[in-house]
Structure 1
Amino acid sequence: MAETLAWRKPRQRMAPPAPRQASREMIGSSISMRSVVKTYGAFCAADRISLDVEPGEFITLLGPSGSGKTTLLNLLAGFQTIDGGEILIDGRSIAHVPTHRRGFGMVFQSYALFPNMTVSQNVAFPLRMAGVDRATSDRRVAETLEMMRLSDHARKTPFEMSGGQQQRVAIARAIVMRPKVVLMDEPLSALDRRLRESIQIEIRALHQTIGSTILFVTHDQSEALTMSDRIAVMDKGHIIQVGRPVDIYRQPQSRFVASFVGESNLIEAEILENRGGTMRLRSRSGLVFDAQSRDASASGTATVLVRPERIALRETATADSVAATVTSALFMGETLRIEAEMAGGETLLIRCQDTAARSLPQIGSRIHVSWGAQDCWVLA
């Protein structure tokens, strides 16, 4: 359970990353992972992973099953021992600090509530274990329940509550000690979509209020994009890319990140001209277009990412459009999901807003599509 780290040295507060409110004092700790290794026999779950987290930052470990994200969280929590490298909290190694002395709040996928205790008793448990006096404990529990909108449920047991309410109790118990670091291991995966989205907003607002450093593990891309200051995308025991959600989504550095984070169209094209910041390219279907790029020396061919929502549908052919044949068309409420094949054989996925003026195209019908340089990205 979370308690104060007596061994921590005071350190100078660092300005949190945008868009955090820089005027608000951060209580969170910095985290530094340096060449962390964890193996299970011949399998390497964490392969020389390095990552720095600023005080008060909300960072998400995102990746498929088996990528190493939960292993990394368990190493940080102290549930497992590292086989190489080191983990520092506020500049000090925690290698020999037991789990219960690390001072972390923890939220698990299984809520891990005590079924024989009321909500108030569950939330008060860390305070009781830390020897906090009754008056202070009651005040802190009341404040935390109010923060999590649970005051009306204080006397209920977990069996009398919905899944979403139980998850809020688990979060309240994790933050009641105002820990410097909160670890969350896929805490929303058991909830339905609408409730999951609601609690995502609540956790984000809570983070802005308490200022703890949060390390959040998920395989859900929308959760990561919605909640994080930064995302660390993981695969096969490595961190593939770290960046702000907008950069991870719009400017991925590899095919894996482009494919894993959101839906994508990956188009192979010939480089006609490299201007440094942009390239002029020609697809197999003959479409000549510009794309953003960081590689000023690339030549030959390139893979270009075009997100489905960035593709424009044209009523008629234009100089900057290409014809495609519709192979699938689905009405999804607020959006239309269309698949179309271009003359060169490339299949495009297109997502566009449903409007009164737009009808769902018929399979086999001909459409015209286009995109601008700001809508696509050349992968490294």
Structure 2
Amino acid sequence: MAQTLARRELRLESPDMQAARAIPSQGAIGAGITIRNVVKNYGAFVAADRISLDIEPGEFITLLGPSGSGKTTLLNLLAGFQAPDAGEILVDGAPIQNVPTHRRGFGMVFQSYALFPNMTVAQNVAFPMRMAKMDRATSDRRVAETLEMMRLSDHAGKLPSQMSGGQQQRVAIARAIVMRPRVVLMDEPLSALDRRLRESIQIEIRELHQTIGSTILFVTHDQSEALTMSDRIAVMDAGHIVQIARPAEIYRRPQSRFVASFVGESNLIDAQVVGRDGRVLTLRTPGGQVFEAQSRHGVQDDRATVLVRPERITLHDAPVPGSMPATVTSALFLGEVLRIEVVLDDGQTLLIRCPDIAGRDLPAVGARLNVGWGAADSWVLS
């Protein structure tokens, strides 16, 4: 399987095209990508339902969504592994849906490292250069630069079996970018790594993107990866892009209940609208508690769903204006944060995450306290 993926990855650009195309200088930007009304069906199942997406040259876009949302299908359509049933895909304004995979000139990184086991790190990275018939001096220079970027210079003579999983994935990334492709496609490349290693390589990929300037399309179901690495996130569900925006906008101002629930932990409160003042609504919970929340366009209905992120809720030992009485149902010490669940007197359950502060004790289950938040800490979903 790994060897098959390696062959598929390394055929992305023919030797003739690789040799003919001069390698861009370091820092050159990538290609602009336009996806227009793309459809892909598998029998009765619609994997991509008239998807449209514009990606700026050199942008880092993450496709984020649950299994079956269409993110890998969209990546495969862009790579040329599958053909769309309708719509078109353009790179720098030129349609590519009829261009074979090996002529698109994209770099590819898979979850499987797909390294050649009998080649050293340097030989694995140099393989695309060798297939392109690059001269030895150019190849050696480019390989050395790329290994330095990926912090692999000290491992150039090792075989893949002598390296950790994280190091092997760095080699796979180095091989994908050694030709400085206009576009790099990454299909959940970090999912097999442990948490600490994932976080480390996330930062390295982000720094790499800023260095080489290729357009990157990154597929993941991990929300923390998407928030950490992306210029913009396209959240997908059931073959649609349901929201695309910068990470902070996706997290703080989701456009739907699905996005609010999928990206980050969330408290969703159903309440009655009792007042409006521009973008600020006054709402009342079923238990009669009144609070304020911000709204994007102004809600015309009498009822609304309000998002309050767990870290935006504050705890009070005694009642303060705008606070609500609650009972602790769960309290966990997680190191840097405390994770507390409470239930309001009207039965609404809230999750709270607050930093571990010296002198703050973990509340006991059954303890009574007060919780609150401001209008800027909550968001009315459209």
TM-score bucket of the superposed structures, by smaller chain: over 0.9
Q: How far has the Cα of 1:295 moved from its partner?
A: 2.6
1:74-223 matches, cutoff 5 A: 74-223=76-225
The number of residue pairs the alignment matches comes to: 365
Q: State whether residues 276 and 297 of structure 1, in contact with CA within 8 Å, keep that contact through their aligned partners in structure 2.
A: no
Q: How far has the Cα of 1:356 moved from its partner?
A: 1.5
Q: What whole-Å deviation, never above 9, does each CA across 1:292-327 have from its counterpart, x for those lacking one?
A: 101325231100000000000012111210000111
1:204-283 matches, cutoff 5 A: 204-283=206-285
Q: Distance in 1 between matches of 2:144 and 2:341?
A: 53
Q: Distance in 2 between matches of 1:256 and 1:297?
A: 18
Question: SS where residue 81 of structure 1 aligns?
Answer: coil
Question: SS where residue 99 of structure 1 aligns?
Answer: coil
Q: How far has the Cα of 1:285 moved from its partner?
A: 2.6
Letter aligned with residue 331 of structure 2 = A
Letter aligned with residue 280 of structure 1 = T
Give the root-mean-square deviation of aligned CA atoms. Answer: 1.6
Letter aligned with residue 158 of structure 1 = P
Q: State whether residues 27 and 211 of structure 2, in contact with CA within 8 Å, keep that contact through their aligned partners in structure 1.
A: no
**Match in the other structure for 1:290:** 292
Q: Distance in 2 between matches of 1:298 and 1:343?
A: 28
Q: Distance in 1 between matches of 2:300 and 2:195?
A: 42
Q: Distance in 2 between matches of 1:193 and 1:303?
A: 33
Q: Distance in 1 between matches of 2:264 and 2:299?
A: 28
Question: SS where residue 281 of structure 1 aligns?
Answer: strand
Percent identical residues: 74
Matched, 1:31 2:33: yes
Q: State whether residues 27 and 212 of structure 2, in contact with CA within 8 Å, keep that contact through their aligned partners in structure 1.
A: no
Q: Which runs of 5+ in 1 are unaligned?
A: 8-23
Q: How far has the Cα of 1:112 moved from its partner?
A: 0.7
Q: What whole-Å deviation, never above 9, does each CA across 1:82-114 have from its counterpart, x for those lacking one?
A: 111000000100022111110101000001111
Letter aligned with residue 212 of structure 1 = S
Q: Distance in 1 between matches of 2:325 and 2:137?
A: 72
**Match in the other structure for 1:327:** 329
**Match in the other structure for 2:309:** 307
Q: What whole-Å deviation, never above 9, does each CA across 1:354-378 have from its counterpart, x for those lacking one?
A: 1122111111110100000110000
Question: SS where residue 285 of structure 1 aligns?
Answer: coil
Letter aligned with residue 156 of structure 1 = K
Q: Which runs of 5+ in 2 are unaligned?
A: 1-9, 19-25
Question: SS where residue 110 of structure 1 aligns?
Answer: coil
Q: Distance in 2 between matches of 1:165 and 1:242?
A: 32
Letter aligned with residue 53 of structure 2 = L
Q: Distance in 1 between matches of 2:133 and 2:330?
A: 63
**Match in the other structure for 1:13:** none
Q: State whether residues 276 and 294 of structure 1, in contact with CA within 8 Å, keep that contact through their aligned partners in structure 2.
A: no
1:62-73 matches, cutoff 5 A: 62-73=64-75
Q: Distance in 2 between matches of 1:285 and 1:324?
A: 12
Question: SS where residue 100 of structure 1 aligns?
Answer: coil
TM superposition score normalised by structure 1: 0.94
Q: Distance in 2 between matches of 1:97 and 1:121?
A: 29
Question: SS where residue 339 of structure 1 aligns?
Answer: strand
**Match in the other structure for 1:10:** none
Q: Runs of 4+ in structure 1 displaced over 4 angstroms?
A: 2-7
